[in-house]
Amino acid sequence: MRGATLLATLLAAMTIGTPALAQEKVLNLYSARHYQTDEALYANFTKATGIAIRRIEGKEDEIIERIRQEGANSPADVLLTVDVGRLWRAQQAGLLQPVQSELLASRIPPQLREPEGHWYGFSQRARIIVYSKERVPTGVVQRYEDLADPRWRGKVCVRSGSHVYQLSLLGALVAQSGEPAAEAWAKGVVGNFARDPKGGDTDQIKGIASGECDLALSNTYYYVRLMASAKPEDQALVDKVGVLFPNQGDRGTHVNISGGGVVKTAPHREAAIRFLEYLAGDEAQRYFADGNNEYPAVPTAKTDNQASAKLGPFKADGLNVAHLGRNQAAAQRIYDTVGWK
């Protein structure tokens, strides 16, 4: 009897202990964001909820591959990354689970989230045209399509066609105009290259300032960083270039997102959903946007970024950003076809 009683006691203790382990107040965050202001974002979540955040950081594709390799035993609860193309890749690899949340549905606009809730956008980045104030007359260039105009032969600087920012932009053009029109545009831009694609967005801006080219594409935050910089060399760059939000007379400027989703095998699912909901709050939206000079995903959220405000309001493309990921393969095929290296 004594042995049976001891066994029953042990089994009861194990039963009681199991839910406690499942309800551990921790969140395992796999992040490809590396911005200093995110530290306050995470600290405030822990302060508000008591849920500690354990972080694994790395490059975008490396983080996704790590979760895939870890498989069913992955400790990852949330994947946080930049560009919808990478979120799409994670979804297609079966790494994310759909999340239905009234708070997220009410705060994040439909075009900035995956229709079934596999991922949500928490900040926006607009892809603008940067031009030489000296060599490009005001108002002559107004649309992305203008970059393919033969008048700009030898005048356009761009980054690699394999980069996710360029894939997303062309993916949007495929969704809006069809593959033939998107290919014609890409072929026209290639014909206007000032040099082979290289470098990041800041390098394209520098190319304009140095006279290597007259026009380029950049995400807004690269330009805003230069605007907000105290370095004389950065201010010299800003003095030489202008920026414009393309396609304001029709579909609007192409936007992308930084966002996240709950990992399919998340051991702390409730904490993961709570974290996503926290990111949609006003305070988190401010940190999210201002940390990298982006725009909030929540329309009513306010930011403290005066440099971004100087660019003024703009009309954003209302296309659901899921199309950008869905059309990645077509975009890469087009770039390869037209010789956009």
Per-residue pLDDT of the chain (341 residues; tens, 9 = 90+): 444 433 333 333 333 333 434 457 999 999 998 777 788 889 999 999 999 999 999 998 999 999 999 999 999 999 999 889 999 999 999 999 999 999 999 999 999 999 999 999 999 999 999 999 999 999 999 999 999 999 999 999 999 999 999 999 999 999 999 999 999 999 999 999 999 999 999 999 999 999 999 999 999 999 999 999 999 999 999 999 999 999 999 999 999 999 999 999 999 999 999 999 999 999 999 988 888 889 999 999 988 888 888 899 999 999 999 999 999 999 999 999 999 99
Here the tokens at position 116 are 């079934």
DSSP per residue over 153-198, as a string?
Answer: TT-EE---TTSHHHHHHHHHHHHHH-HHHHHHHHHHHHHTBSS---
Domain with CATH 3.40.190.10 in the chain: 25-124+256-305, 126-253+323-338
Q: Are strands 215-219 and 241-244 parallel, antiparallel or unpaired?
A: unpaired
Q: What is the pLDDT of residue 246?
A: 98
pTM of the model: 0.88
In 50-120, which ranges are continuous DSSP H helix?
60-70, 84-92, 102-107
What distances in angstroms separate CA 294 from CA 126, 172, 183, 309, 334, one per listed residue?
A: 8, 20, 29, 10, 29
Look up the CATH superfamily of 25-124+256-305: Periplasmic binding protein-like II (3.40.190.10)
In this prediction, residue 305 carries a pLDDT of 83
Task: Give me the residues paired with residue 193 across strands.
Answer: 156
| pLDDT for 31 | 95
CATH number for the domain formed by residue range(s) 126-253+323-338: 3.40.190.10
Please, what is the Cα angle at 313 between 308 and 317, to 5 degrees?
A: 105
pLDDT at 119: 98
Per DSSP, the three-state class of 334 is helix
Cα 194 from Cα 152, distance rounded (Å)? 9
Vertex 145, ends 251 and 309: CA angle to 5°? 55
Structure tokens at 14: 């194990």
